[in-house]
Structure 1
């Protein structure tokens, strides 16, 4: 057979498939990626991971990125047996996670939950109505991985990216992989994935089901809070000739679950607390799709990419007598990206985004404004990158033209310098913007939350400095980043006299967020690795500590893998420091500040290979059965255990 060796620039020519493979490749390892009669293609990687979301040009080497970033590769997700992607984000510096039934939020560097842009296979997935993404609906698929960019990214992506970007990639798969598991609390989960690829094409199909009877989440409650979540997804690409590539992505998510309401009876001793609420349920449904075409000219040095994507999200809640609330939001977006590489190290990119978001409140009782509103935005982006041997430079400028709010210009400038072979300094500064959401502009429930159509966008400016230090020929890496940012026009909930009805407003004062992020990764032995992270955060709004943002967050993951890959075990410890929250325990509905106690979660996961195709696995989550609250009065689940079987063909 004739073997064709593809290296260096040839990797980029493989497009999105190569980017997905490169994230988990090892230095000096070659892979057979395709075969035809009489020919094999052998792909060798130089050991450089690709950060797909770090540039509008379609990706850059992780070591060339001038900001703070983290990649949780597919191997990491498999070792920790991640099912809810939100849980593994606790292992990323600068990330705080808080979740209840029906809504799981993450906050990056003390920003709000709606200040984080979330991409899934390149699709913007936030709900246009609420302005943020419910991470409780994102289930990990076999072969999937996560990228996290910390710090303002509006210069690349526009509104929503004040705190940063979380990008989930489903990866590219070959063959058939499936898993099924069952455990305590009536848990029954399953996942299956099929993938194939050939000369110039690839396709992947995936299905994930997560179901549990749950546990009570009210203090002293008896009602189990269960959940069923289903995800169907597919992606593929095909090369038409030597220069043209077509691609498509589709994803359907449906989540059904129970939830408990808060007691708002002023005469009740549990006023403001979560109580058992029989027959209260929610349903969330989301449809996402993307189609794109990429044209490579001048031997791949000048690419033109045109894409269109849609997101359609509906959310409904139900009570004893039927539907009690609901919302609809949809987003239509088109993007053109022209990326030019010249003199090997220079990259110049132009991007144009058009976006239309529509939303409406579907309150069945008519107590809320039910008209359909929409916002259109055009964003123009210019980006320059220099990727040198020792010095890296990046600069981006974006101008947004909005039909409801004032036009805005955001920027980001970063630089990295390798002062020694094992020591790299980096620094960046940038600005961000977040437009108000539907319920902030037009209200949610009349008499309970009144909208404010005069709200202004929130604006942020932030900077960071960091250092990455390698030891022992790269077996140990330590990273430290100091960040500092200020937020203007922060939207908060006011309770003006004489009615004291809640309504949003912009603050006249600035809010500050600063902190230190530390991370370490080490190969302690040939079969043992350790990953650790710590964050110290000082986030204040108008001089008062921001809620649900612990000052201290830490995690550590210790993994052992047998030399022949026949078995593995992973111990993960996650600590969440004490945090402030708001409690509505006063009949005036003006919130009272309370403190959520610190908690520590210990998870243990293990696998054993039964044969070449079958693997037995199991895990215990919250091993110490810690009882804790991520949100005031909502008790999070205790200890759980599952046992499962994985098969690959």
Structure 2
């Protein structure tokens, strides 16, 4: 009944738009990757090549018209970001059905280690199988691979590009399942912007951005502060005396400077600070993360030799977590462990783009090299339930990883109707200085030094785009990609609910062989549809495997290379600009995942990958009339999925409705209101020993100020 009511409401909105529809205009559709009209991006960004309206960068590392790119690209433009009802960036990204985080819960109450990005259902885990970039700099945690979504202030975003297919040919490890890149807003002149909001669950937010330009020098600074009481995460029928709300807070501060040193040379620098505190719903389940980023980039453009882009960055991060031992009836808890995980990374890249040259068409060559070093440790103090001399009291594990890669790409425009893309990358990485030191209550000390290991990988990618008729575009690509295990997977054990999972220092890189093919049609002005099929074979994926016999300390799972899994499916979307005021978006992703081989775990063969629903869909209707108001109504549907690898703990599907409305008051001041989970739908997000719930009804309201000449 609820689904029927939602469908009826969305249909009524569309019919209302049609009733007052004006002739379609060439304005951009809601999600512009399917229309060929990406948002305006000025040549002031120091971290990406200059781009004009209708271009994207991430899929080829070069600015290309979005309709000409040989692979699927989805763009969330600034306008959609502004009017999104979602408070967090992971919530914003989930409006793309092919994108999801590991667990279905919001980062407002989710432990940072459970915020891994998942594209097209590639064996979801807390560790991202996809790379997240901010202006070309990796945003994934260097030690664990997860993403601190709350460290990315929304006011600073110009657009988000999503490339949901293997990206190792251009980006190396971590891009196994694709790439999501966030681009910062251009610095064009004096401007001051701010958002202030407060709402249910004790949620308050303050965000400010200021930017200006003084001749060849531009600067921008942005900050975001957010606090929330959260909500009780444990299902009511399982709650005990220890269960409470799950409060959290965060603060970010980012700054950018860019300098036009000469007509040929541009320089840029950035700094970023972030800190978050989260409570898991009991006194002794807490997490804290903090990071500091420093970056530098330069671009030299010459007529004869092409363009050279240099980027350097360094990051220091620290993650702290406390775990609890909980009574079966959840009436009491005691502190069971404290983890402290400091990590640091340094990296750099140099990319050369050759001048276009002619040979049976137009070729644009690009070549690059990059290096990266990651080091980190997990210092863990444990408080055993019994004073057994053999019980572990202290555990220190960690190591260092070194990455290096070279790539070459050719974009070959045979004719305006046909474009080919070929890329090849060679990567090498080493795990070095891996150690584990365990101190037991009785005073015994066990120390192990792991042998250094190295692996190499060739990652090719081939793609073609053919436009036999102006309204019709066909795309196809094939690729091979990989992901090296993180230090977290190699060395750090963890606990979710009552389930303990052990690390595994013998893990190998996981690999992906896959392809996609699709069609995009814009037969009627203002209406664009796209269908893409994909097929991926994931070799030796790293999963949290259930052990036949628990370890002596009660650990029930361990990270293991699985064997082989197949992930195939279909994406479909339709954008419709009904009139100048009304737009609509429908998007759907179907994923069929299956374990095909599991040496040592035969019970997993034929099972669906954990945390991977077969169905996801989004419907968004927007009304935008600056003289009246702006309003968005969106429906997000997620199908059933399993919590565990054995497919024994099922979680049902759910549908939630979100809404946003704003109205200009005077000048650049406007009032807005947003609501998530409008119908207060109850749904499960986890079943790791206890059942946990997703975010209930969340209503907030506030003011926005936009001041610019």
Range into which the TM-score falls when normalised by the shorter chain: 0.7 to 0.9
Aligned positions of 1:401-550 closer than 5 A: 401-403=428-430, 404-444=453-493, 449-473=501-525, 475-496=526-547, 499-500=550-551, 501=555, 502-508=557-563, 510-541=564-595, 542-550=605-613
After TM superposition, the score normalised by the length of structure 1 is: 0.85
After TM superposition, give the deviation of residue 567 of structure 1 in Å. Answer: 1.5
1:101 aligns with 2:152: no
Alpha-carbon offset, residue 557 of structure 1: 0.9
Which of 623, 636, 649 lines up with 1:594 in the alignment?
649
Shift in alpha-carbon separation, 1:104–1:495, aligned structure 2, 3 A:
closer
Q: Which residue of 1 aligns with 2:229?
A: 213
Render the CA deviation track for 1:360-382: whole Å, top value 9, x for unaligned: 10213475642441011110010
1:367–1:445 contact (8 Å) kept in structure 2: no
The CA distance in 1 between the partners of 2:487 and 2:40, in whole Å, is 43
Q: Distance in 2 between matches of 1:331 and 1:463?
A: 32
Q: For 1:387-435, what per-residue CA distance to the aligned partner results, in whole angstroms no more than 9, with x for missing partners? A: 4521121111100122233211101111101110100000000011011
**Alignment match, 1:364:** 381
What is the Cα deviation at residue 494 of structure 1?
4.0
Q: 1:250 to 1:230 in 2, by over 3 A?
A: same
- Tell me the residue number matched to 2:702: 644
For 2:32, the equivalent position in structure 1 comes to: none
Question: 1:142, 1:191 within 8 Å by CA — same for their partners in 2?
Answer: no
- For each residue in 1:306-346, what CA deviation from the matched residue of structure 2 results, as whole angstroms up to 9, or x when unmatched? 11112222111247779722212222111111111314842
In structure 1, the residue matched to 2:329 is none
Within the candidate set 87, 91, 106, 1:87 is matched to 91
The match for 1:560 is: 623
C-alpha deviation, 1:144, in angstroms? 3.6
Q: Could you tell me which residue of structure 1 aligns to residue 341 of structure 2?
A: 327
Q: What is the CA–CA distance in structure 2 between the aligned matches of 1:375 and 1:630, rounded to whole Å?
A: 33
> Bigger CA drift: 238-247 or 336-345?
336-345
Distance 2:378 2:43 in 1: 52
Matches within 5 A, 1:212-361: 212-220=228-236, 221=239, 223-260=244-281, 277-298=282-303, 302-318=306-322, 324-343=338-357, 345-361=362-378
Alpha-carbon distance change, 643 to 498 in structure 1, aligned in 2, over 3 angstroms? closer
- Give the 3 Å change call, closer, same or farther, for CA 413–199 of structure 1 in structure 2: farther
Cα distance in 2 between the residues matched to 1:322 and 1:499: 18
Q: Does the 8 Å contact 2:398/2:487 carry over to 1?
A: no
Alpha-carbon distance in 2 for matches of 1:127, 1:143: 20
Q: 1:187 to 1:158 in 2, by over 3 A?
A: same
Q: Secondary structure at the match of 1:141?
A: helix
CA distance in 2, matches of 1:469, 1:77: 25
State how far apart, in whole Å, the 2-side matches of 1:281 and 1:329 are. Answer: 19
Secondary structure, counterpart of 2:255 in structure 1: strand
User: Take 2:43 and 2:58, find their aligned partners in 1: how far apart are those partners?
Assistant: 26
Which residue pairs with 2:40 in the alignment?
25
The alpha-carbon deviation at position 453 of structure 1 amounts to 2.5
CA RMSD of aligned residues (A): 2.5
In structure 1, what is the Cα distance between the partners aligned to 2:607 and 2:394? 32
In the superposition, relative to structure 1, how do residues 258 and 499 fare at CA in structure 2: closer, same or farther (>3 Å)? Answer: closer
Q: How many residues align?
A: 585
SS across alignment from 2:143: coil
Closer/same/farther in 2, CA of residues 200 and 137 from structure 1, 3 Å limit: closer
Displacement after TM superposition at 1:468 (Å): 0.7
Return the offset for 1:279. 4.5
How far apart are the structure 1 equivalents of 2:100 and 2:401? 30
Shift of 1:625: 0.4
1:82–1:140 CA contact under 8 A, matched in 2: no
Would the aligned equivalents of 1:121 and 1:249 in 2 still touch at CA under 8 Å?
no
Unaligned stretches of 5+ residues in structure 2: 1-36, 45-49, 324-333, 383-391, 431-452, 596-604
Cα separation, 1, equivalents of 2:487 and 2:259: 39
- Measure the CA separation in 2 of the matches of 1:451 and 1:549: 22
- Secondary structure of the 1:582 match is coil
Using the alignment, how far apart are the partners of 2:481 and 2:627 within structure 1? 45
Q: Cα distance, 1:215 vs. partner?
A: 1.1
- Cα distance in 2 for residues equivalent to 1:179 and 1:360: 38
TM-score by length of 2: 0.78
User: Residue 142 and residue 482 in structure 1: after superposition, are their counterparts in 2 closer, same or farther (change >3 A)?
Assistant: same
- From the superposition, tell whether residues 443 and 616 of structure 1 become closer, same or farther in structure 2 (CA, over 3 Å): closer
Q: Deviations over 1:508-554 (max 9, x none)?
A: 3x210000000111101111001121001101224210111111100
In the TM superposition, what is the alpha-carbon distance from 1:53 to its structure 2 partner?
1.6
Q: Is the 8 A contact 1:67 1:428 kept in 2?
A: yes
Report the Cα distance in structure 2 between the residues aligned to 1:454 and 1:47, rounded to whole angstroms.
Answer: 47
Residue number in structure 2 paired with 1:551: 614
Distance 1:391 1:288 in 2: 41
State how far apart, in whole Å, the 2-side matches of 1:622 and 1:592 are: 27
Matched-pair contact (CA < 8 Å) for 2:375–2:400: yes
Deviates more, 1:98-107 or 1:190-199: 98-107
SS at the partner of 2:79? helix
Report the Cα offset of residue 81 of structure 1.
Answer: 4.2
Go from structure 1 to structure 2 and tell me whether the alpha carbon gap of 1:498 and 1:470 turns closer, same or farther (over 3 Å shift). Answer: closer
Structure 2 counterpart of 1:9: none
Task: Name the CA shift for 1:623/1:543 in 2 (closer, same or farther; >3 Å).
Answer: same
Distance 1:517 1:65, change over 3 A: same
Deviation at 1:497, TM superposition (A): 5.7
Question: Where does structure 1 lack aligned partners over 5 or more consecutive residues?
Answer: 1-21, 34-44, 261-276, 584-590
Change (3 A) 1:496 1:570: closer
